[in-house]
Structure 1
Amino acid sequence: MPVKNMTKKQIQIFFERLRAQRPNPKTELNYSSPFELLVAVTLSAQATDVSVNKATDKLFPIANTPEQIYALGVEGLKSYIKTIGLYNSKAENVIKACKILIEKHQSIVPNNRTDLEALPGVGRKTANVVLNTAFGMPTMAVDTHIFRVGNRTGLAVGKNVLEVEQRLLKVIPKEFIVDSHHWLILHGRYCCVARKPKCAECVVSDVCNSPDKYEFGAVKEIQIKNIDE
């Protein structure tokens, strides 16, 4: 059964609830500078934030600038990140990125998509995370959690991550757009999970258009009246 797109009123309520639940949402990656964030997000591809934090909590006190990490070399960096999946290719990409940052950007992380995506290991999603989290730009990095939440709830139905990203940027009200990336990731990570979504404890279940939500305990009695108005 196809999921019906949320109405403007549903979307407004959806984000008002998520904002009330988490007034100050933040990434769960540990970082203290745009460069640390760039490295952490690069390492997080196909890995958990927990595993990345365990590695960077040891790495960053030793090396947390492009010069310092570049000085470690590929093998030196590997010794810190070997517990993270795909660490061989990630180490090579981070070292190459450090070299470019040093030579072309005065060791400063660029605040534009073109230069970010020119760095090895940095794709559209990573660039969106850095632009949003480090520089406060209204970008939307669509990961598996956001892709699932968008399609399951009717917030942003799309066949691929780019379609979902573009739909989200179109329908999310401006007052929510900067923080919406974090709200959606955290909601997908802890409530709207893949196999057994926690609809019984979900703060937005009554504005969700998932045809399966009642199977997972959503309460019918709290349905908002005249939701399509």
Structure 2
Amino acid sequence: MKNAIIYVPGKGGSAKEAEYYRKFFNDGFDIIGFNYKSEKPWDAKVEFSNYFDSLISKYNKIMLIANSLGAYFSLISLADKKIKKAMLISPIVDMERLILDMMISENVSKEELRIKKEIETSFGEILSWEYLTYVIKDTINWNIPTEVLYGEKDTMTSIDTINNFVKKTNTNLTIMSGGEHWFHTKEQMEFLDKWFKSNI
């Protein structure tokens, strides 16, 4: 029975990005990009759970690689799945904090959001009362062996937030000095490759 690598892209990413990771594995691995449709966490919980359930019986071992929002959806959906290891790149690990930070930057109070239900931000994101109240109640409980790659200059997740997550979930953290949320430059991709090779 083969092993599988499941790649979950971030928002606006593509399942085709999974091909990047083929170079790290031999022919005994299927590399699968998960082209999920969910935009809300409650939808992701159903979609992600069903998708992984459909694959688990077909493979000996499954490794998860997840990026940004894809990592957040994985964290809230897959904690009880038979995943041997997870590799998380720039994961969103505290959605409540991220939304509250966006509200502060847009000068939107909780009361205003509660009344209006949805508010469009100056940077194109929609603040949603339903989304915020859901993520406040829906905490992450994760105990799968996990490696986290984080860029020092990540503007989505603060160093304190990532450190809190790492302590709570007993995961291993690697920080790239000067790295960003989106790993894309030659130097950043070389760092990612080294991190990945030494931790799989």
Please give the range of the TM-score, normalised by the shorter of the 2 chains. under 0.3
TM-score, reference length from structure 2: 0.27
Q: Which has the larger strand fraction?
A: 2
Which structure's CA Rg is the greater one? 1
Give the number of the structure with larger relative contact order, counting CA–CA contacts within 8 Å between residues 6 or more apart.
Answer: 1
- Tell me the TM-score normalized by structure 1: 0.24
**Larger helix proportion, structure 1 or 2?**
1
